[in-house]
Structures are given as structure tokens and as C-alpha cells.
Structure 1
Amino acid sequence: MALLTCAFLGVLDGSIIGTALPSIVREVGGDDTWYLWLVTAYLITSTVSVPVYGRCADLFGRKRLLLSGLGLFLAGSVACGAAGDLATLIAARTVQGLGAGALLALAMAVLRDRTDLGSIQTAMGVMLIGGLVGGPIAGGLITDHLGWRWAFWLNLPIGLAAGTVIAARLPADHVRRAGRRLDLAGIALLTGGLTLVLLVLSLQRYWLLLAPAALLLLALVPVERRAELPILPPGLLGRRDTAALLSAGFWFQAAALPVGVFLPLYLQNTRHFPAATAALVLLPMLGGMAVANRVTAAAVTALGRTKPALLAGAALITAGSAAFAALPTDSAPVLLGIAAAAVGFGLGPAMGGLTIATLQAVPRADTGLASAASILTKQLGGSVGLAAAQLVALPALRIAGWAGLAAGTLAWLSIAGFREAAQPLRAADPAATR
């Protein structure tokens, strides 16, 4: 439970700020152009740090890095709540994101070693349902009743409790690759290239920076081929099935995050709903995700296959997003709730199903790398989807619809290229539980 709580906090703080944004900007100053920075600063740092934590864990141990990352995350949370201006708040969100990278990469990695993949389906569902959809709901309720600063400060008691349990009960892990050198060149090239890409999309200017970003990412290929312990092994991405699943995860997240951010903003800024009411429109999405996740978990466990559920999920996301794109901007909230439920039913299969399929598609020795790559591509998909949505000069409801429609279609095409044979779910590695 403590491990799941850590991962939950990492996901939650990527989305909780959505319904609090108008109150934050009104209190500390700024305008709508700052909205994306407060979200993207967290997403960039939590995204690019995931593979770094994954590799450092091989050298220094997961428990130590997980607790260090949790401490960094909590320090950033306290600073966010105390911030008196937007520059300080953005800097604190950056620190928060650096800590969240450890929570996302390492908490689920430890859990994966200690349980079977069927249980991971449920764990991932709880984490992502609560984080992606529960974040805006919690943000709205906290903002209306306690103030937006408590959306950050409430992380402290929860995180401290989880950290205490982990420190006391999680055994020190064996460092499996002690003595091998960290791929510093690969880390620099990967983080530099991804950061430039995301900054360009966020600022919607300085497009020439995409040229050095492309050069950095291209230079990563030969560096990784020569590295003793590559940060992003080319062999992993070269597998057709793994590449298809990672691409699907990218597009699923690119569809989910714009809906979670722009739908509450539309309801508050265009329809003038209170933050809590705007967040409650997402409840049908939450319910759809919960039901679909449970149904998918049972089906995957019984059949040993995830592809049919993933294809159905992508189709439902596309249909729900098409409704957002077509509905009048003064539509009744119940119609918006129905569309949100369709998107939720589509996201449900993707939450744990993609993780299971990715881990099943690679040899056991590569499951750690596959897990980190899965988290990285999903985080990157959310960042790119949210930033790219800002390029569209449409009302917020239309942005959510068209972003989800495009990303859902691409997710379906990615899954269609995945070749899957029915197979029993792998159990946890017994050696990892000793």
C-alpha cells in the first residue's frame, strides 16, 4: 500500500493542479499563458528523470533512491504551497517533478518484483484512476473549501506516512550491477533533447530549437549502442511489438491529459461553474475507468490476452472525444458527462493492460527496462498532447475533443500493429521477494 501511495502521489500532482489553476493565477498574478507552465514544468521534469532513476537504481539500489525521491517531492510540495509568486511556484513544481520521477519509476518497479502481473493490472488501475481523474476532482474540492495551497500541502502527511512504512518494512535491495558506469552521455543527450522539444511546444515559439533537439536525440543512438549500461537500450525499442505498445501508451496519455485539463477549464471559464462542480463532471469518467479496469483485469487473467481490450478502449476514447468536438459549447452537463464516461471506459483497459502487455512482450531480464520505457513514453505523451493542444485556436471543449480524437485514433493504429499470442500471466520473480 505504501508503494502504491507513492506512485499515486506522483500521478496525482500532475493533474490536481488543473481545477486549481484559475484560483492560483488570480491570487499570485499572471495570465492564461502561465497555465501551461505550471503543468508542463512538472511533466517535463517527471518525464525526463524516469529513465535516469531507473538506471541509477541498478547502481545504487531502489529503496534508497525511492526514499530520496519522495523527500524531494515533499520538499517541492511544501514550497509550492508557500509560493508567493508564479516564478517561485514554477520552480517548486520543477523540484516536485524531479521527485515524482522516482515515485513513478521505482515504486511500481518494486511492486512488480513482488507481485504477479495480474495484480499489477489492479494496482495500475487504482493509481491512474485516482491520479488522472481523481486529481481534478480533488483539486476542485480542496480549492473551494481549503484553498489551492492545500492541494500541495496535503501531500506532506500522506507522503511522510508512506515513507515511514517503506523505510521500516521494505528490505534493502541487492545492487545488481555494482561497478558498472552510469551512462552520463546518454542521460545528457536524452534529457536535453526531450526538454527542448517540450519547451518549444509549451512556448509555441522558438521553433528553430527543434533542430538542436533532433540532433541531440539522433546523437543518442550511437552513444547508446556503445554504452556499457545504456539509459535507453536500442534493442528494446527495436522490437516491433514493444515499439507498438510504447507508441500506444504515448497516444493514450496524449488523449487523456488534455481532457482532464481543458474540460474543467472550459466549465469554469466559459460556463462559470465553481471549481468543485466543474470537477464533478469528471466523475462519470472516473466511474467508466474503474468499471472498465476491473472488467479488463478479469478478461486478461482468464484469456491471457490484452489486445482486444486495448483496441476497444482506443475506439471508445475516439468516440467520446468526437462527442466533445461536436457538442455545442452550451450543452447540458449530463451530455458532457456521457461523453466523459465513454472516454473513461476507453482509458480503463489501457491503464494496466498496456503495462502487462509490455512486460509480457520482453524477456524477464528486460522487464525493468520495459517498465521504465513505458512510464517514460506515457509521461512524454501527456506532455506533448497537452502542449500541442495549446497550438489549436479553439474553445477549451473543442481542444479536448479534437486532441482526444486524434490521439485515440493513433493509439488504435499502434495497437493494431501489436502481435499477441495468448499466454498465461507471469508470476513475480521468486528471487525478488526474498
Structure 2
Amino acid sequence: MTVEAAVDPYDVLTPRRRKLVTFALLGCAFLAMLDGTVVGTALPRIAEQLGGGSGWYVWLVTAYLLTSSVSVPVYGRFSDLYGRRRLLLGGLGLFLAGSLVCGAAASMPALITARAVQGLGAGALLTLGMALIRDLYPPDRTEGLLRMQTVLATMMVLGMVGGPLVGGLLTDHADWRWAFWINLPVGLTAAAVLRAALPDRRPSGAPTGQLDVAGILLLTGGLSLTLVGLSLKGNAAGAHPVGWTDPSVAGSLLAGLALLAALIPVERRAALPVLPLRLYRHRAYGTLLTAGFFFQVAALPVGILLPLYFQYVRGHSATVSGLLLLPLLAGMAVGNRATAAAVLRSGRTKPPLVAGAGLLTAGTAAFFALDAATPPALTGLWLLLAGLGTGPAMGGITIATQNSVPRADMGTATAGAALTKQIGGAFGLAVAQTLSGRGMAPHPGSGVPAGAAAIGSTVAWTGGTAGLLALAVLLAGRDVRIPGRGGRTAARGGRTTPAERR
């Protein structure tokens, strides 16, 4: 091995270059988070100018969710095999091209197609951005990793709140097209910094073999159909809700699951599988993916249904409704920061994740008591508990997942954690729509959902059940240890060496 091959180019980055690259990566991740929610408040104006009914609304959102989700595992796996820099720059290029066309779209089909292209690039931004941040700030760089987890959590919260706010402001005071064009200056600046300052580190000793085309097609097809089925069910509302047995829902889900089942024997034979099944031999990895799925199932209905309660049951404006959700968002930020600090101090990931699952269960189950006269302070307390419970899953699951597998599979592991959370969110929304039933049906002719009790019981049943399942999975699973302040070595599941963690 030559001296050049032994030196990690990330280890010799100057502090200034490391900081510039970090800001560019955070900018990429923020764009992906923001664009997942920015369209919501602009939909009425878009429909007014481009035409289209509620059916187009669903696909305008689903197109981005679909392509950004199904591309995640492919980006993650390919980054482990061929390096992350070129894939990230390629994904950023797709995202910016999609943004440009979205802003220039003259019809709803054109806009939906451009959103799909945008989502295809967005799959790289968040997944590879987080993987590269982990490369730049491994667990032995404790202070840097702690700061990065804090910043990432803050960005996630800002993306959730900022997307609808930015979309509304631009739609009201400029033009809805700027909700997409605003990505261009930020994205182009990030691309220039990454090209100039981020070294092209390619994996040494990566396996060789024929590209797993069959695996890629089966994986993307299976995930696409599964997410389409969940999206059709989760976005069903109004006087004609769609049931699980509806041909569009049941057909998509069954076909998607069949393709994913067919993927297993294909991946066992593939020389370079897009989904390495050997990762699931690490018990901790499978445990963390399952727990992340249930965390998201429990958490998403809170953020989706409580604004309906504040606006339609309590009569608050959209702005006040957003302010009343601040305890949830503050809890997420604090919970994530506390989790990262606890993990890096003790070297153990299991205790804070277990505590988070317990808090999330308690916070969501409390909504059984929600009614039209519940004091805002009490609602805020329940939201704070739910946020504190959700926080550990935001960064803690990722940290644990990245350290539960060999270092060479870190990108794939990061993608797996992100994908299962996205599927969990879609499934949670579909379950919540089912549980809400007639209690959430609009008043005739008003289009306004009714029933504080229906909202409260839906949040409580979905969150409480999924939270308990996450708690049970974590308690039954192994602890993943990482290097902390005490210099603990880790990766019981991954058995990585200090040299590999560099």
C-alpha cells in the first residue's frame, strides 16, 4: 500500500475547507427537506393558474415523495462502491434542473414530471449529505459530530416549519414559481464549493462485478408501488375515502410487496447487490431500521392532524396554528441534541433511544383526553413530550445505524435508515386516515373536518401503539456502542476497527 493510499483525504482537510464543505452539505440537506413541504401552501394558486383538481394535488406531492424515496437506497449503495462526491454532484444537478423546469412549467402534468425529476435528485442530497458529514466528523471527532447533529436537527425543524411558510410568502408576495427558483442560487453555490473543496475519496478495495440491474429494477418498482398505495390511502379524504381493499390501493401494495419478495433471491445471487442482504445478519441493524419505522409511524400523525385541530376545532389561523406547534418542534431539537450528547458521552445508543420511545408513547397516548376545550398549555405539554420522544430517532437512529455495520457499508446503512423512516411516515399517515374514519369527515358542504375526539384518538392510537412497538423492539435488541469521550470502541454489530473508522 502506498503512502498516498493510506492517507484519508478527509483527515488532512484544513479547518477552513472542512467548514466550507460542511456548510455546502448542510445547504444540500436543507434544500431536500424544504422542498418536501414547500408546495403545500402554494397548491391553490398553482391549481388556479395551471388547472387541475384534488387528484392532481395528490400526485404533485406523491411524485416528489416517490422518486426521492426509491432513489435513496441506490444512491447509498453506489456511494459505498464508487464514492460519494460525484453521485452527490449528479443528484444536485438533477435537483436544480428539476427546480428550474418546475418554475417554468405551463401545465400540471409538466409540473408533476419536473417534481419527479427534482425528487430523483433530492434522494442524493439528504442521504449522501448525511453520509459525508459522518465521513468528515466520525465519532472520534466528538465535538464536531455533536455540533453537526444539533445543526441537522435544527434544519429538520426549520424545513418542517419553513417549507409552508416560504411557500406561502412567495405565493402571496411574489409568485409560486419562486418556491422552486429559490433553490437555484443556494444549490449552485453549494455545487461550486463541493467541486472546489471536497476531495474525491473513492473506496479502496471495493468489490467488482456486474451491475445489479435486475435488483435495481425490482427494488425501485417494489418501493414505488408500495409508496403509491400508501400515498393513495393516506391522502384519501372527504366524502369518498379510499379503503385498503380499493383496487388502486390493494393492487399497488400487493404488486409492490410481490416485487420486493422477488428481490430477495435476486440479491442472494448478485455479485454487487444493490441491497446487500448480509447487512441484515447484523442483528442491531435490523433492530434499528424496525425501530426507526415505528418511530416515524408514531410521530407523523401528530404533526399532520394537530394543525387541523387548532384551525378547524379551535378556530385559530394558520399562523397561530404553526405557533402552537412550537412545543413539538422545540422538543424535537432538544431531544436530538440531548441524544447525541448522551450517545457520544457514554458510547451507548440504546438507553436514549429507549427513553425516546417511552416519551413518544406517553406524549401521543395523552391525546386520548383531547377535546374542544383542552387548555392550550396542556396540549403544549403533550406536544413537548412527543417532540422530546421523536428527537432521539432523528439523529440517534442514524448514528447507531452507521456504527452497526462495517465501515465500507456506511452509505448503504444511512440510506436504509432514511428509507425506512420515509416508508414509516407514509404508513403512519395511511393508518391515521383509516382510524380517523367518519369522525374526521367534513361537514356537508363545508369541507371542514370535524371532531376533536376523532383527532385525539387517532393520534393516541397510532402514536401509542407504534411507540410501544418501537420500545419493545429496542428493548429486545442489542446495544450499539460507538467511540465516546472515554475512547470506547464500538460497533458490536459492525466490528469496525479504529483504522476503518478514519
Q: Establish whether residue 408 from structure 1 lines up as the match of residue 467 from structure 2.
A: yes
Q: Choose 47-56 or 178-187, whichever is displaced more.
A: 178-187
Q: Secondary structure at the match of 2:115?
A: helix
Do 1:139 and 1:151's aligned partners in 2 also have CA atoms closer than 8 Å? no
Q: Establish whether residue 158 from structure 1 lines up as the match of residue 186 from structure 2.
A: yes
**In the alignment, residue 151 of structure 2 is paired with which amino acid?**
V
Deviation string, structure 1 residues 238-280 (Cα, Å, up to 9, x no partner):
3222111111111222233333333334444555544333322
Instruction: Give the corresponding residue for 1:114.
Output: 136
Do 1:63 and 1:170's aligned partners in 2 also have CA atoms closer than 8 Å? yes
| Higher Cα radius of gyration | 2
Q: Establish whether residue 126 from structure 1 lines up as the match of residue 155 from structure 2.
A: no
Instruction: Give the corresponding residue for 1:171.
Output: 199
Do 1:120 and 1:356's aligned partners in 2 also have CA atoms closer than 8 Å? no
Pick one of 289, 314, 324 that aligns with 1:246.
289
Unaligned runs of 5+ in 2: 1-22, 234-245, 441-448, 450-454, 491-496
Q: Establish whether residue 343 from structure 1 lines up as the match of residue 367 from structure 2.
A: no
Q: Establish whether residue 236 from structure 1 lines up as the match of residue 279 from structure 2.
A: yes
Q: Secondary structure at the match of 1:424?
A: coil
TM-score by length of 1: 0.88
Deviation string, structure 1 residues 70-116 (Cα, Å, up to 9, x no partner):
12112223333444554333323222211111112211222222212
Q: Secondary structure at the match of 2:434?
A: coil
Q: Secondary structure at the match of 1:361?
A: coil
Deviation string, structure 1 residues 167-186 (Cα, Å, up to 9, x no partner):
11011222543853221111
Q: Choose 87-96 or 143-152, whichever is displaced more.
A: 143-152
Q: Distance in 1 between matches of 2:322 and 2:401?
A: 32
What pairs with 1:282-301 in structure 2 (closer than 5 Å)? 282-301=325-344
Q: Secondary structure at the match of 2:483?
A: coil
**In the alignment, residue 110 of structure 1 is paired with which amino acid?**
L
Instruction: Give the corresponding residue for 2:85.
Output: 63
Q: Choose 220-229 or 422-431, whichever is displaced more.
A: 422-431
Q: With CA pairs under 8 Å and 6+ residues apart, which has the higher RCO, 1 or 2? A: 1
* Alpha carbons of structure 1 residues 159 and 261: separation in structure 2 relative to 1, 3 Å: farther
Do 1:57 and 1:65's aligned partners in 2 also have CA atoms closer than 8 Å? yes
Q: Choose 350-359 or 144-153, whichever is displaced more.
A: 144-153
C-alpha deviation, 1:344, in angstroms: 1.2
C-alpha deviation, 1:23, in angstroms: 5.7
Q: Distance in 2 between matches of 1:220 and 1:110?
A: 28
Instruction: Give the corresponding residue for 1:104.
Output: 126
Q: Secondary structure at the match of 1:256?
A: helix
Identity of aligned residues (%): 53
Deviation string, structure 1 residues 372-408 (Cα, Å, up to 9, x no partner):
2212212222232233433342437444444333322
Do 1:250 and 1:380's aligned partners in 2 also have CA atoms closer than 8 Å? yes
Instruction: Give the corresponding residue for 1:146.
Output: 170
Q: Secondary structure at the match of 1:49?
A: helix
C-alpha deviation, 1:187, in angstroms: 0.8
Instruction: Give the corresponding residue for 2:6.
Output: none
Q: Establish whether residue 190 from structure 1 lines up as the match of residue 219 from structure 2.
A: yes
Unaligned runs of 5+ in 1: none
Do 2:94 and 2:118's aligned partners in 1 also have CA atoms closer than 8 Å? yes
Q: Distance in 2 between matches of 1:235 and 1:221?
A: 11
Q: Distance in 2 between matches of 1:390 and 1:72?
A: 33
C-alpha deviation, 1:211, in angstroms: 3.1
Q: Choose 326-335 or 213-222, whichever is displaced more.
A: 326-335
Instruction: Give the corresponding residue for 2:404.
Output: 361
Q: Distance in 2 between matches of 1:75 and 1:264?
A: 33
**In the alignment, residue 130 of structure 1 is paired with which amino acid?**
M
Do 2:153 and 2:336's aligned partners in 1 also have CA atoms closer than 8 Å? no
What pairs with 1:356-395 in structure 2 (closer than 5 Å)? 356-392=399-435, 393=437, 394-395=439-440
Do 1:137 and 1:276's aligned partners in 2 also have CA atoms closer than 8 Å? no
Q: Distance in 2 between matches of 1:134 and 1:108?
A: 17
Instruction: Give the corresponding residue for 1:135.
Output: 159
* Alpha carbons of structure 1 residues 299 and 156: separation in structure 2 relative to 1, 3 Å: same
Q: CA RMSD in A?
A: 2.9
Deviation string, structure 1 residues 297-354 (Cα, Å, up to 9, x no partner):
2221221112111111112222222234431146454443332222211111222111
Instruction: Give the corresponding residue for 2:262.
Output: 219
Instruction: Give the corresponding residue for 1:419.
Output: 478
Q: Distance in 2 between matches of 1:74 and 1:271?
A: 40
C-alpha deviation, 1:295, in angstroms: 1.9
Do 1:201 and 1:388's aligned partners in 2 also have CA atoms closer than 8 Å? no
Q: Distance in 1 between matches of 2:138 and 2:283?
A: 25
TM-score by length of 2: 0.77
Instruction: Give the corresponding residue for 2:241.
Output: none
Q: Establish whether residue 79 from structure 1 lines up as the match of residue 101 from structure 2.
A: yes
Instruction: Give the corresponding residue for 2:230.
Output: 201
Q: Choose 14-23 or 35-44, whichever is displaced more.
A: 14-23
Q: Choose 18-27 or 295-304, whichever is displaced more.
A: 18-27
Do 2:344 and 2:482's aligned partners in 1 also have CA atoms closer than 8 Å? no
**In the alignment, residue 217 of structure 2 is paired with which amino acid?**
A
Q: Choose 2-11 or 110-119, whichever is displaced more.
A: 110-119
Do 1:40 and 1:383's aligned partners in 2 also have CA atoms closer than 8 Å? no
Q: Secondary structure at the match of 2:412?
A: helix
**In the alignment, residue 134 of structure 1 is paired with which amino acid?**
L
* Alpha carbons of structure 1 residues 161 and 263: separation in structure 2 relative to 1, 3 Å: farther
* Alpha carbons of structure 1 residues 276 and 156: separation in structure 2 relative to 1, 3 Å: farther
Q: Secondary structure at the match of 1:362?
A: coil
Do 1:197 and 1:213's aligned partners in 2 also have CA atoms closer than 8 Å? yes
Do 1:144 and 1:275's aligned partners in 2 also have CA atoms closer than 8 Å? no
Do 1:251 and 1:407's aligned partners in 2 also have CA atoms closer than 8 Å? yes
Aligned length: 432
